[in-house]
Amino acid sequence: MNDWNAACRGLSRLIAVSMVVGCGFAPFGCGPGGGRPLAGAGGLMPEVAVVTAAPQAVELATELLPGRTAPYLIAEIRPQVGGIIQKRLFQEGSNVKAGDVLYQIEPAPFQAAFDNAQASLARSEANLPAIRSRVERYKELLADKAVSLQDRDDAEAALKQAEADVAYWKAALEAARINLGFTRIVAPISGRIGRSAVTDGALVTAHQPAALATIQQLDPIYVDVPQSTAELLRLQRRLRDGRLDRAGVNTEEVRLFLEDGTAYELPGTLQFQDITVDPTTGSVILRVVVPNPAGVLLPGMFIRATVKEGVNPRAILLPQQTVARDMKGNPIAMVVNGEDVVELRMLVLDRAIGDRWLVASGLAAGERVIAEGLQKVRPGAAVKVVPFEPAEAK
């Protein structure tokens, strides 16, 4: 028992001596108050892989909220005269050309009105030469005082009335011709026609509120996408500050993505930007014209659009693994300074580009950012630096 107690007392003295010796080095940098950088566990300097911030030219684009497609042209077919539909002359869902006859209204009443106006015009024109000759004779007889002045005036009035009758029946004939032509309801535009709202034998009225059918031109097609005014102001500010250059960039080209996430093969062209802000969404509408030869895009579809902004000539991109967040959610990074000592750096991020962050501020060109080994270091620690090798390169 005595031997056991003696051994325990000896071990306690050894531990105490070791603590004294270890603490003796603390003033020289082993603790938080020392003058030297902190070392890793066991006095070994931790190894970290770093990424060097290098400015590069990066083309930036704005990914917009989902937009909707809309027909390039749309025409609602309505009758311009009333009558019975004699025949529907198109197939629902087919493509029609401008001028194709879609419906035939019973033309018999309009043909009769046309024939009546034509006959009345002929009668008026037949009476006109005799009345005109009478006026000429009365003028000659008036000079010889063979007729009275009143007779001459009555003849001239009859001539004017006959000429007015001819003009009236010409107008009536033209109106009858137009109405007769309206019995053939034709397509005003080329495009795809939808279902018919009426069948053969249906009664229609002129300018009725319900459309008989609708034609939509789908090639090309519009895509209307909203852009927030906040993003619009940021874009204008970057252009004004010189952080964005549009020289040599086709900013009118728009890339589209379908509702299932696949890319649409043909690019669109930005036609115009609306000048009115929607007060409910705080956004303006960008209208894009998109080729649609295969008919993939249909009216009302959801589409995502990407619009080119320009080129940032001195963009700094960091792998996303190099950026962490503090307790408030602010982005931070660990930077190795010129003395191979770790520093904490607050960042301002612009956006994610693929698997990298675009740094707006907080980092200068040439600075080294820790990408691997973050769990082994803290601010103020001395580290051994090695180049970072991405996973695909290893």
**Amino acid identity of 20?**
V
Please answer whether residues 207 and 78 qualify as being in contact, where contact means their C-beta atoms are separated by less than 8 angstroms.
yes
- Same domain for 368 and 358, yes or no, is yes
Q: How many other C-beta atoms lie within 10 A of the C-beta of residue 230?
A: 10
Q: Return the CATH number at 385.
A: 2.40.420.20
Judgement on whether residues 48 and 161 belong to the same structural domain of the protein: no
Q: Helix-strand-coil percent breakdown of the chain, rounded to 5? A: 30, 35, 35
Q: Are residues 225 and 305 in the same domain?
A: yes
Q: Give residue 81's pLDDT band: very low, low, confident or very high (50, 70, 90).
A: very high
Final residue before a domain boundary, out of 312, 338, 369: 312
Quote the pTM value: 0.66
Give the residue with greater pLDDT, 2 vs 276. Answer: 276
Mean pLDDT of the chain: 83
Q: Residue 115's pLDDT band (boundaries 50, 70, 90)?
A: very high
Stretch 258-277: mean pLDDT, rounded? 88
Q: By three-state DSSP, how is residue 155 classified?
A: helix
222 and 161 co-located in one domain: no
pLDDT value of position 392 = 60
CA triplet 91, 95, 96: central angle to 5 degrees? Answer: 85
Based on DSSP, count helices (H) and strands (E) in the chain, helices before strands.
4, 21
The answer to whether residue 30 sits within a structural domain is no
Q: Any idea what the CATH number is for the domain that residue 206 is in? A: 2.40.50.100
What is the token pair recorded at 230? 């906040």
Residue 294 lies in a domain: yes
* Residue 4 in domain: no
Beta strand segments in 144-301, E: 184-186, 191-193, 203-204, 213-228, 253-257, 268-273, 283-290
Look at residue 353 and give its three-state secondary structure.
strand
Contact assessment for residue 50 and residue 319, using Cβ atoms and an 8 Å cutoff: no
Name the token pair of 200. 């053969």
206 and 188, same structural domain? yes
User: Using an 8 Å Cβ cutoff, are 216 and 192 in contact?
Assistant: yes
Q: Is the pLDDT of residue 243 over 70?
A: no
Higher pLDDT: 167 or 38? It is: 167
Percent of the chain with pLDDT over 70: 85
Contacts of 163 (CB under 8 A, 6+ apart): 128
Per-residue DSSP letter, 386 = E
If asked whether residues 95 and 192 sit together in one domain, one would say: yes
Residue 99: inside a domain: yes
Instruction: Clarify whether residues 66 and 145 are in a common domain.
Output: no
User: Picking from 34-43, 133-142, 377-386, which range would have the lowest pLDDT averaged per residue?
Assistant: 34-43
Q: How many domains does the chain have?
A: 4
Q: Is residue 27 part of a domain?
A: no
Please give the residue range of the domain that contains residue 151.
107-180
Answer whether residue 2 shows pLDDT above 60.
no
CATH number at residue 132: 1.10.287
Could you give the angle at the alpha carbon of 59 between the alpha carbons of 56 and 64, nearest 5°? 140
Q: What is the pLDDT of residues 284-303, one digit of tens each?
A: 888 999 999 998 999 999 99
Decide which of 272 and 122 is more confident: 122
Question: DSSP string of 336-352?
Answer: E-TTSBEEEEE-EEEEE
- 1 pLDDT more than 80: no
Same domain as 190, residue 97: yes
Statement to judge: residues 141 and 229 lie in one domain: no
pLDDT of residue 246: 64
Residue 349 confidence (pLDDT) above 50: yes
336 and 374 together in one domain: yes
In the structure encoding, which two tokens stand for residue 312, read together? 């940032």
Structural element, H or E, at residue 194: none
- pLDDT per residue over 305-334, tens digit each? 888 777 888 888 999 999 999 899 999 999
- pLDDT at position 360, please? 85
* pLDDT, tens only, 11-57: 343 233 333 333 332 332 344 444 445 555 555 788 999 999 989 88
CA separation for the pair 107, 112 (Å, rounded): 9
pLDDT in tens, 175-203: 999 999 999 999 999 999 999 999 999 99
Span of 140-144, 275-279, 335-339 with lowest mean pLDDT: 140-144
Percent of the chain with pLDDT over 90: 48
Q: Is the pLDDT of residue 122 over 90?
A: yes
Considering Cα of 370, then 375, then 381, then 382, what sign does the dihedral take? negative
Structure tokens at 221: 């097609």
| pLDDT score at 22 | 37
Please state, as a whole number, how many other Cβ atoms lie within 10 Å of the Cβ of residue 315.
21
- Is residue 66 one of the residues assigned to a domain? yes
**pLDDT greater at residue 140 or residue 370:** 370
